[in-house]
Structure 1
């Protein structure tokens, strides 16, 4: 297998046009390749600057999960830190987790950040939402978002060989009217649900939770809803909100 390491988006496009298969850490495809055969050509994004950004409001698809640190919001950092084992996090990439994995551990965190995806298509790069990214499995270059006021993440224990552990991600953003908007996203099994509720001055966690109860989140099993309740309460009482 010939692995190309382009250093520009245009060179990456040339590799793809020649039939190269994009790979990150190959943690999700290695077993398949060993069983069914390796592709003749593969291409990595790890030398493409647009895919290796890491900052307060952006994260590249080629960034390894163990590299996701406190430069990004807490919800995204904790989500990345909860994926697999240390060995997996040292090999797996952001793009592989979001686009290549059925678990999509980073998706709830990206949803509450209201992130947009920068992708590479046939006509060049463009920005799209996460729904299209996941549905069409685009080649992701990076995620971009507006930094939240505060955020959080909770993952319940899971059983080995069982369904994916339940996770809940939260983030509070300033809205156009000077108030606050709480975004909540959960992964329940393989399904991801995202909802939001206003958190205006004077409103406490019970009022916000009542509003969330009237969304599809209210149909969650008791244990899952308790995790949502605890995480929402913790997020809304963060001193960062004043």
Structure 2
């Protein structure tokens, strides 16, 4: 197997056109390849600058989870910090987690940030929403978002051998069209399903929680809803930190 390491977007497109199979940190595909056989060509974006950015409003798809630190909102930092072990976080990438993993641990955080995805294809680079990323699993180049004023993340304890733990991600964004000029975006992972909703931020946190209760999030089981309510209230009642 040839491992292609392009150093530019155009070179990555050439390798894609030649049939190279994209990989992230290979933490998800290695066992499958050992069982089913290796492709003739694989390609990593770890040398492509656009895929390695960690900065304000941008996160590259080739960034390993252990690199996600103070340069990104709290909701995304906390989500990355809860993925697997330290060894996993040093090899697993943003793109592999969101596109290649069935758990998609970073997806709720990205949805709460209302992130947009840049996709790389052999003949074009384009921006799309996260719904397309989940449905079509294209090659992710990066994520971009507008910085929230405050955000937070909570992961409940899970049972060994049971379904994935419930998680809730929340972020407050400026929104001139919303009452009070701010909008709360919330995303949860319930089992393997991910659900996101939003509501204008009310003067009292409990009123914002009540508005969310009238969305599809209100159908969550009592324990999960309590986690959503607690996390939303906590985010809305602390100072803006980003």
TM-score when normalising by structure 2: 0.96
Task: State the distance in 1 between where 2:127 and 2:84 align.
Answer: 29
8 Å Cα contact 2:120-2:126 kept in structure 1: yes
Task: State the distance in 2 between where 1:23 and 1:197 align.
Answer: 37
Structure 2 partner of 1:192 = 194
Q: Using the TM superposition, give the Cα deviation of residue 38 of structure 1 relative to its aligned residue in structure 2, in angstroms.
A: 1.1
Secondary structure of the 2:119 match is strand
Structure 1 partner of 2:58 = 58
8 Å Cα contact 2:16-2:121 kept in structure 1: no
Task: State the distance in 2 between where 1:14 and 1:40 align.
Answer: 15
Q: Equivalences for 1:13-24 in 2 at 5 Å?
A: 13-24=13-24
Structure 2 partner of 1:95 = 95
Q: Equivalences for 1:18-57 in 2 at 5 Å?
A: 18-57=18-57
Q: Using the TM superposition, give the Cα deviation of residue 138 of structure 1 relative to its aligned residue in structure 2, in angstroms.
A: 1.0
Number of residue pairs aligned between Structure 1 and Structure 2: 239
Task: State the distance in 2 between where 1:42 and 1:153 align.
Answer: 34
Task: State the distance in 2 between where 1:199 and 1:15 align.
Answer: 47
Q: Using the TM superposition, give the Cα deviation of residue 160 of structure 1 relative to its aligned residue in structure 2, in angstroms.
A: 1.7
Secondary structure of the 1:141 match is strand
Structure 1 partner of 2:172 = 172
Structure 2 partner of 1:11 = 11
Two-structure CA RMSD over aligned residues (Å): 1.1
Unaligned runs of 5+ in 2: none
Deviations 1:173-225 (A, max 9, x none): 0111561100000000011110111114xx21110111111111111111101
Distance 1:144 1:95, change over 3 A: same
